[in-house]
Structure 1
Amino acid sequence: MYTIHEAFLKAKKRLADAGIADAGFDAAKIIEKHTGYKRHEILLYGEKPLCCPDDEFWSDVERRAKHEPLQYIFGKWPFFGLDFFVGKGVLIPRPDTEVLCEVAISYLSEKPSPKILDLCAGSGCISTAILKNVENSTAVCVELSDDALYYLKKNIDFHGLKERAEIVKGDVLANETLDSLAFDFDAIVCNPPYINSGDIPALEPEVAEYEPITALDGGEDGLLFYRSAGRFLPHLKSGGFAAFEVGAGQSDDVSRILENSGYRDIFIKKDYAGIERVVGGFSK
């Protein structure tokens, strides 16, 4: 049986040999999953035996060596101070998306019992973060993928929001789905697919080979989804707003699309890295 420190060193080397960029961080996270010890504790308790089944630990190391995302290996990952279940078939929540939640919470916090429409809901991280931070808010979450719906339902239940969140299976670009939705939402939030189709094969393997293509591919120029933004406008109350996550360099194009689609008072918000990450506008 390996000690914790021996296991860490061997796992780090295996991951480095496999081309994992931050092998030390990832090896430490796998140690943490199986022992509870964080990276700074590995030296303190490194002489203790690795008290977990060897096959489970090294199976996780091998999964990561094949570039499976660490988030999928853990099965749960933090976002906006909350934990979310994730796995193959659902987009991994990213810090970039937290600014979309902040924008929505800021606009909705003073409204009584606001209603939110979450399009391309995925894991449910956006609507969950909003519901947990805006009193008396409710949400309708629309998602097409069965794999994503599994995690969406699981996360809604896990956070005790079953009575405040309705889940709808449907294609947000299909008339049948849109016709089934109400026309009195205070806010629409959405993190749509926005990567250019031709750029996807060049993405890091953790993304290109594991995350769902339907949550990534935004068409030839990455703007396919946004061109339908005008179809969502009737579902907003007068004075309601829609906010969309966008890719780096897309904010100007999306702003023009929203303006031409009938939205007013277009706004752009930057993420923590200073990238223009959210574009939105208001209904008349």
Structure 2
Amino acid sequence: MKRNKIRTLLDDATARLTSAGVDSPEVDARILAAELLGIRPIQVALVEDLPADFEGRFEAWVTRREAREPLQHIVGTAPFGPLDLEVGPGVFIPRPETEVLADWAVGRIALLDEPIVVDLGTGTGALALYIASQRPDARVIAVEKSAEAREFARRNAELAGGSSSISIVAGDMTDPELLRDLDGTVDLVVSNPPYVPEAEDLQKEVYVDPHQAVFSGADGMDAIRGLVPVAARLLKPGGGLGIEHDDTTSMDVLDVVAAHGQFNEPAVPQDFTGRDRFVIASKLAQDEDA
């Protein structure tokens, strides 16, 4: 097939995905084609000869995306920093903005030897594996309530070659008894918890993720209210806390962290688009006023 055939297929797919309300139709069409061809998306337009079965397989994938099945479920993976994480029904799809929290976490422990890190609500293992990939000497404990999600995390740890450097633990991030053996010993707690207020008017793809991994009560704050005291108990004095949150609840999260009384004044880093999306803080030293 000639080069213009792939261009025709991409243009048709882009038009269909646009009509279906997909946010990035041209990008998604290129990613689907690239995955089938085993090349990078930027190389797709340069392809002159297509495999005999390409057109049928591409049509099937475009139809699935047109029905608003998440792109990551179709290709089976989601990129996260240096990682390609296996995803599918039953586990939250990691988003690019969470890489901001991951980068902060790695920087936060940069000067520590063999730090202890806890990831509350690990899902695919994204934050835990990102940190472990940058700090192989760290002891990383990845906590996840969902058995399905824990299986994804285990497979991703094996694929990343980091299965021996992280521990995947069954548990609820809001459980007052969680990881009691680590009380006061942890250098860093990170969490990308469920934080979206209950709603029925979001993008269709949001509702494909497990409900319990996305939504957290009417105001989106239930999980965060529960995890802050757990994090405070686990952290050693001076230890760091990093929480991702909904861009509409930044002040609420600040208030929860500040009101707990065991953290210094929290800060609010922004995501790639300039939205307030994270709250970070340090646990007060023992001789500081609470």
Give the TM-score normalised by structure 1: 0.90
Q: Distance in 1 between matches of 2:19 and 2:275?
A: 33
**SS of equivalent to 1:232:** helix
Change (3 A) 1:42 1:128: closer
The 5-angstrom pairing of residues 159-178 of structure 1 reads 159-176=160-177, 178=178
Question: Which residue of structure 1 lines up, in the alignment, with residue 220 of structure 2?
Answer: 222
Aligned sequence identity (%): 30
Counterpart check, 1:26 vs 2:31:
no
**Could you say which residue in structure 2 is the equivalent of 1:264?**
263
Residue 105 of structure 1 and its aligned partner are, at CA, apart by: 1.1
Tell me the distance in 2 between the aligned counterparts of 1:41 and 1:182: 49
Partner of 1:126: 127
The answer to whether the 8 Å contact 1:30/1:57 transfers is yes
Corresponding position of 1:112: 113
* Alignment RMSD (CA, Å): 2.1
Specify the alignment match of 2:278 in structure 1: 278
Please give the per-residue CA displacement for 1:36-87, whole angstroms capped at 9, x wherever unaligned: 34455444324x2344365533321221111011111111121123221111
The question of whether the paired residues in 1 share the 8 Å contact of 2:136 and 2:165 is answered with: no
Letter in 2 for 1:204: Q
Q: Which segment drifts farther, 104-113 or 253-262?
A: 253-262
Can you give the 5+ residue segments of structure 2 that lack an aligned partner in the other structure?
285-290
Secondary structure of 1:267's partner?
coil
- Paired with 2:220 and 2:90, the residues of 1 have a C-alpha distance of 20
Output the CA distance in 2 between the equivalents of 1:262 and 1:151.
Answer: 36
**Where does structure 1 lack aligned partners over 5 or more consecutive residues?**
none
Report the count of equivalent residues: 279
2:182 match: secondary structure: coil
Q: How far, CA to CA, are the matches of 2:131 and 2:202 in structure 1?
A: 30
- One-letter amino acid of the structure 1 residue matched with residue 140 of structure 2: A
Mapped partners of 1:160, 1:43: distance in 2 = 34
Deviations for 1:223-246, whole angstroms, at most 9, x for unmatched residues? 112212123311111211211011
- 1:180-222 CA-partner distances (Å, limit 9, x unpaired): 552211111001111111x2x21100112x1111111121111
- The answer as to whether partners of 1:35 and 1:52 remain within 8 angstroms in 2 is no
Q: Distance in 2 between matches of 1:136 and 1:40?
A: 36
Cα offset for 1:137? Answer: 0.7
Q: 1:138: which partner in 2?
A: 139
Are the aligned partners of 1:118 and 1:188 in contact in 2 as well (CA < 8 Å)? yes
How many angstroms does 1:21 deviate by? 3.6
Aligned to 2:103, what secondary structure does the other structure show? helix
For the Cα contact (< 8 Å) 2:36–2:54, is it kept in 1?
Answer: no
What secondary structure is seen at the aligned counterpart in 2 of 1:157? helix
Q: Which deviates further from its counterpart, 127-136 or 163-172?
A: 127-136
Relative to structure 1, the CA distance from residue 43 to residue 113 in structure 2 (aligned partners, 3 Å threshold; closer, same or farther) is closer
